[in-house]
């Protein structure tokens, strides 16, 4: 599991099929739950299956105990405070601002690729996604220079923490590779967060941004109920969860298209029809129907949140198995999305699976890249909105192709990442009949 996590996971998934199985990882024996019925049961029974346990420990070194990634009162106060900034309606009001960021980035790509040199997809998408998050959700409270430093730290963390995640019962006092890097990452975040929090707590702004909303709620509470590090933990968590998963999902988009010229042609057709050759705008979003379907299919085969875990609170029967109290339950969109019982020819890349007619016929929990139940991803609308604008922005100007012919394979870090660098050659695309 530690040496070949993706292949091992694939093998376990095939062997388990729809059955609940118990993994034998030495002294650690979590249940693996993959069938949509069972997943639904676990995700929607939040009284019996809680987000706690050894798997979460390594992540909490960065997120702390006081963030939206926890449970109980700390989770609910965080979700209540942040949720208004993530409703489809509010996110919709940011569409034009996001589209402007995308249009600027596409212009810049156009200048830099004029010589035919390829670009590194993850680097470009990191700039774009973290820029959007900072402009539209942090209200420029974090500077772009600090954001670059945080992104570099997060990149280190995504791989540094993975050995601890794979060896969850290893005591903290046993040093593992990646521990020192993780400590440095936490120091980097804390050094940047502390002065920001001091400034905004003393003079809370009325702004619609994450830091201001957290500081206002903290001041209102007056330290009575919220844990000490609540603002810091939520700030760090929101920056981390709002970037890495989205960047990797968008990086997967390009290798997923390789070998599918028909999908690329349909994307070009839709984007040309919708934008009419103009620069991308928020008002184009409702018509980018196929673009969204392709992104959904990319997230089916490469769900960047590839695994998440719950702990059983009391003995609970799921299917015909009694899950014991205190045990961990592993849920994996990666495995559920590859079940033959859930998807016809699951390994074939086919965006047509996401036509409304076909999606309606499917079990609600067969497709769960954003989880489900009360902890369902709060950033889902943000992600689809930015993803559709970015894809359409790029497709409206370029014919993207992979610069390297070798296949791109998955590797697990905190997210499911491409193991190889994804370099893109962007040739100008001149749609016929466009202005």
Q: Minimal distance in Å, beta carbon 366 to ligand HEM?
A: 15
Asked if residue 304 binds ligand HEM (CB under 6 A), the reply is yes
Separation CA 143–CA 195 (nearest Å): 13
Q: Minimal distance in Å, beta carbon 246 to ligand HEM?
A: 4
At 280, list the tokens. Answer: 């991308």
Alpha helices in 138-178 (DSSP H): 144-160, 162-166
Q: Using the rule CB under 6 A, which residue among 370, 388, 390, 396 binds ligand HEM?
A: 370
Asked if residue 371 binds ligand HEM (CB under 6 A), the reply is yes
Q: Using the rule CB under 6 A, which residue among 16, 241, 323, 391 binds ligand HEM?
A: 241
Separation CA 356–CA 207 (nearest Å): 37
Q: Using the rule CB under 6 A, which residue among 48, 57, 79, 135 binds ligand HEM?
A: 79
Separation CA 367–CA 170 (nearest Å): 32
Q: What x/- string results for residues 263 through 282 when contact with ligand HEM is judged by CB under 6 A?
A: --------------------
Stretch of residues binding ligand HEM (CB under 6 A), selected from 93-101, 237-245, 264-272, 320-328: 237-245
Asked if residue 378 binds ligand HEM (CB under 6 A), the reply is yes
Asked if residue 410 binds ligand HEM (CB under 6 A), the reply is no
Q: Minimal distance in Å, beta carbon 348 to ligand HEM?
A: 21
What value, to the nearest 5°, has the Cα angle with vertex 261 and ends 257 and 267? Answer: 75
Separation CA 301–CA 386 (nearest Å): 20
Q: Minimal distance in Å, beta carbon 112 to ligand HEM?
A: 26
Q: Using the rule CB under 6 A, which residue among 49, 354, 383, 398 binds ligand HEM?
A: 383
Q: Using the rule CB under 6 A, which residue among 13, 58, 64, 379 binds ligand HEM?
A: 379
The answer for residues whose C-beta is within 8 angstroms of residue 171's C-beta and 6 or more apart is none
Q: Minimal distance in Å, beta carbon 180 to ligand HEM?
A: 27
Asked if residue 57 binds ligand HEM (CB under 6 A), the reply is no
* Site for ligand HEM, residues 37 to 56, rule: CB under 6 A: 51
The nearer residue to ligand HEM, 70 or 396, going by C-beta atoms, is: 70
Q: Using the rule CB under 6 A, which residue among 9, 42, 68, 213 binds ligand HEM?
A: 68
Q: Using the rule CB under 6 A, which residue among 13, 66, 204, 242 binds ligand HEM?
A: 242
Q: Minimal distance in Å, beta carbon 173 to ligand HEM?
A: 27
Asked if residue 393 binds ligand HEM (CB under 6 A), the reply is no
Separation CA 307–CA 332 (nearest Å): 4
* Alpha-carbon Rg for the chain in angstroms: 22
In the block, residue with structure tokens 């997210």: 415
Transcribe 403-425 into DSSP letters: SS-SPP-EEESSSEEESS--EEE
Asked if residue 308 binds ligand HEM (CB under 6 A), the reply is yes
User: Is 302:256 a contact under the CB 8 Å cutoff?
Assistant: yes
At 418, list the tokens. Answer: 């491409």
Separation CA 114–CA 165 (nearest Å): 43
The nearer residue to ligand HEM, 272 or 285, going by C-beta atoms, is: 285
Size of interface with ligand HEM, in residues (CB under 6 A) = 22
In the block, residue with structure tokens 């530690």: 2
CA-CA-CA-CA dihedral for 297, 238, 381, 102, to nearest 10:
-80
Separation CA 400–CA 222 (nearest Å): 52
At 238, list the tokens. Answer: 């929101």
Query: Residues in the site for ligand HEM, rule: CB under 6 A?
Result: 51, 68-69, 79, 241-242, 245-246, 249, 303-305, 308, 369-371, 375, 377-379, 382-383
């Amino acid at each position: 599991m530690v040496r070949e996590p993706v292949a091992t996971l694939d093998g376990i998934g095939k062997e388990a099929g729809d059955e609940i199985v118990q993994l034998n990882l030495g002294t650690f024996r979590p249940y693996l739950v993959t069938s949509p019925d069972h997943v639904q049961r676990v995700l929607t029974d939040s009284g019996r299956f809680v987000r706690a346990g050894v798997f979460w420990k390594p992540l909490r070194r960065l997120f702390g105990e006081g963030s939206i990634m926890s449970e109980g009162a700390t989770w609910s106060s965080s979700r209540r405070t942040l949720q208004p900034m993530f409703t489809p309606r509010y996110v919709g009001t940011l569409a034009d601002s996001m589209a402007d960021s995308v249009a600027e980035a596409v212009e810049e790509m156009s200048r830099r690729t004029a010589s035919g040199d390829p670009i590194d997809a993850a680097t470009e998408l990191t700039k774009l996604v973290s820029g959007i998050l900072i402009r539209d959700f942090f209200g420029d409270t974090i500077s772009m220079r600090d954001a670059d430093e945080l992104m570099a730290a997060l990149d280190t963390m995504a791989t540094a923490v993975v050995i601890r995640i794979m060896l969850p019962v290893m005591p903290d006092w046993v040093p593992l590779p990646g521990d020192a890097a993780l400590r440095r990452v936490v120091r980097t975040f804390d050094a940047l967060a502390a002065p920001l929090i001091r400034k905004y707590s003393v003079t809370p702004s009325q702004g619609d941004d994450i830091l201001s909303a957290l500081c206002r709620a903290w001041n209102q509470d007056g330290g009575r109920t919220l844990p000490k590090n609540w603002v810091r933990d939520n700030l760090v968590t929101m920056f981390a969860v709002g970037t890495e998963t989205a960047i990797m999902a968008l990086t997967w988009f390009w290798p997923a298209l390789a070998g599918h010229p028909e999908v690329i042609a349909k994307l070009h057709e839709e984007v040309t029809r919708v934008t009419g050759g103009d620069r991308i705008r928020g008002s184009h979003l409702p018509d980018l129907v196929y673009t969204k379907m392709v992104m959904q299919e990319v997230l089916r085969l490469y769900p960047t949140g590839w695994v998440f875990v719950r702990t059983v609170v009391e003995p609970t029967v799921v299917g015909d198995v009694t899950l014991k109290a205190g045990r961990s339950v592993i849920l994996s969109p990666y495995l559920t999305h590859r079940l033959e019982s859930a998807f016809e020819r699951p390994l074939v890349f086919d965006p047509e699976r996401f036509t409304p007619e076909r999606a309606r016929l499917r079990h609600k929990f067969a497709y769960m890249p954003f989880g489900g139940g009360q902890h369902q991803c709060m950033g889902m609308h943000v992600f689809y909105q930015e993803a559709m604008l970015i894809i359409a922005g790029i497709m409206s100007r370029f014919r993207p192709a992979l610069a390297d012919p070798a296949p791109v394979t998955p590797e697990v870090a905190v997210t499911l990442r491409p193991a190889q660098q994804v370099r893109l050659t962007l040739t100008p695309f001149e749609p016929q009949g466009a202005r």
